[in-house]
Structures are given as C-alpha cells and as structure tokens.
Amino acid sequence: MFRCGRPGQEGTVTQKHAREGWLQGPTIDCVPPTNGDASPRPWRMVLLGAPGVGKGTQAELLAGRTGACHLSTGDVFRAAKLLPACERTPALNAALEASKAGHLASDAVVLELVAERMGCLRCRGGFLLDGFPRTVVQAEALEELLVGEALAIDVVLSYELPLGTIVARLGGRRTCADCKMVYHTQTKPSRLADRCDSCGGALVQRDDDRPEAVTVRMAEYQTSTAPLCDFYRRRGLLVTMSAEGTPDEIYQRTVEALKTRDSAAEPSSTP
C-alpha cells in the first residue's frame, strides 16, 4: 500500500539519503535505510521533464517523503568537480571531458557510469532516477540491467508545461555571477535590485535562459524525449503530470497518481 504525506505527518519517510555510493563511486558503500525508515512499498521511478517544469523540486519532495533514493546523473558530475574523494573511473573521466568540450556524454559512457553504481539501484527504499535515461538506447540498457537484478521500473512520471509558461519561468531566472545563487524576478526576487542577497554579486541572466534560447532548447528536448515517452507508454509505465501550480500542489497530484497505480497493482480480493 502506498504511504506518504507532508513532513511531520504519520507515515511520512523523512530520511535524507547520503548517497555516498552514487556520488563518490562504485567502491563506496551507501548506508541503507533501516527497516523503520524503508518504505512499505519501495518505488522505483524515472522522472522526465523539460528544463523549467520544476522536476528537480518534485524529485526532492518525492525522495524526502517516500524514502526513495534520488539518483541524479547531474549530481554525479557536479560531485566529481567538487569532491576530491570521487573515484575517477574511466567512464567518469570521459563524461567530464565531454562536458568540458560542451557536449553531452555518450550513451555508452552514461550507461557505464550507472552500471558502476548498480548497488544504488538495489536500495531497499527504492530509487528515483533523474536525468537518466535520456534516450531509448539508455532506457533499453537500463531495462536489461534491472532484469539481471530481478528489478523493474514501477512508473515513469513525465511533468509537462505549455511552452509559453516554460519561457516565462526560465526568462525570469537570474543567477549571481559570484556565488551562483539563483533568483527569479517574479517568484523569488532579491531584496536588492540586481544584486545577490547573499554576497552582493551582480545578478545576470544566463544566455540559455533568454526566450529565444529557451525555445530552441524545448524543441531539442521534445525531439529527444518523444521517442522515450513512447517507449515507456508502450510498456504501460508512463504517467503524464501537469506541472502547473505550486510545488506542493504538483506533489499532491503525483501522490494521487502513485496511489492509483498502487491500487491497480494490488491483487483483487474477488474470486
């Protein structure tokens, strides 16, 4: 039975997974959740969503409240640049080199990174994959990896917004040139005009947040993601979710969708 809620409510899982094995490398052991912290129904989820839909916020809410471990490939790359303890495997080095050159890591490299961290996918609290898979090739390979471990994806959540809303969201984003703190002209303005509240640095608009750049990014996202959505739709795993509203409203919408899937998966009591 699906169990979830807001922080402080009965049944809510609030453990924050440290994710050492995911972030630092394949020979590092994560501390698994205790029996009391593990969800009674571990969920194995994939999250999809274009930049600007709030997918990252939903990932944090779902991970914090269901007990699923948030496994973001973007976090792996960021950790590699910041944490000296990260294991520099050939796959990680190749991914970082691609990033330096302004390219996405190849399917083969990303798959090797995930395969190295297979122990994280066995987490008894479940997992939430964010940023992977990005292509049908990656989705097929992930499926094979999980079959080998007698595991399977339970649901693929695709968060969607109209293009105009995404352009408005990203177009209002401002980033501190010094500390990289992110603000928004409408939803999270700084107290000082054009200056960071934290360090006083100048707030700038990134080139890829300008309306014309956002439109191009969305077209590229749709081209790459449409086949992936079709792949999971054919397997009966895809659930599309409106990303309109507050983060908590979107989260509650997600909870209802998971409850519906959980109920449908339970064996019928009718002979």
Domain with 85 in it: 20-161+238-260
Q: In CATH, what number is assigned to the domain containing residue 48?
A: 3.40.50.300
Catalytic (active site) residue 206: yes
Task: Identify which of 204, 226, 243 has the alpha carbon closest to the alpha carbon of residue 54.
Answer: 243
Whether 200 is in a domain gets the answer no
pLDDT at 243: 94
The C-alpha atoms of residue 271 and residue 265 are separated, in whole angstroms, by 16
- Of the residues 44, 65, 117, 173, which is catalytic? 173
pLDDT at 144: 95
225 within some domain: no
Q: Of 117, 169, 174, 217, which one is the catalytic site residue?
A: 217
Q: What is the dihedral of CA 192, 193, 198, 204, to 10 degrees?
A: 180
State both tokens at 241: 């979710």
The answer to whether position 246 is within a domain reads yes
Residue 36 falls inside a structural domain:
yes
Q: Is residue 35 pLDDT above 80, yes or no?
A: no
Task: Tell me if residue 217 is catalytic.
Answer: yes
Choose, from 19, 117, 134, 174, the residue flagged as catalytic: 134
- Cite the DSSP H helix spans in 83-210: 90-100, 107-116, 118-121, 136-148, 163-171
Residue 199's pLDDT band (boundaries 50, 70, 90)? very high
Phi, psi dihedral angles at 192 (to 5 degrees)? -100, 130
What pLDDT is attached to residue 147? 94
Active-site residue, from 19, 44, 55, 174? 55
Q: How many domains does the chain have?
A: 1
Residue 70 lies in a domain: yes
pLDDT at 221 over 90: no
Q: Is 55 a catalytic residue?
A: yes
Q: Where is pLDDT greater, at 245 or 17?
A: 245
Q: Comparing 24-33, 170-179, 215-224, which segment has the lowest mean pLDDT?
A: 24-33
Average model confidence (pLDDT) for the chain? 83
Question: Active site residue: 16, 180, 206, 235, which one?
Answer: 206
Please report whether residue 6 resides in a domain: no
In a domain, 105, yes or no: yes
Residue 231 is predicted with a pLDDT of 97
Residue 157 buriedness (CB in 10 A; 0-12 / 13-18 / 19+): buried
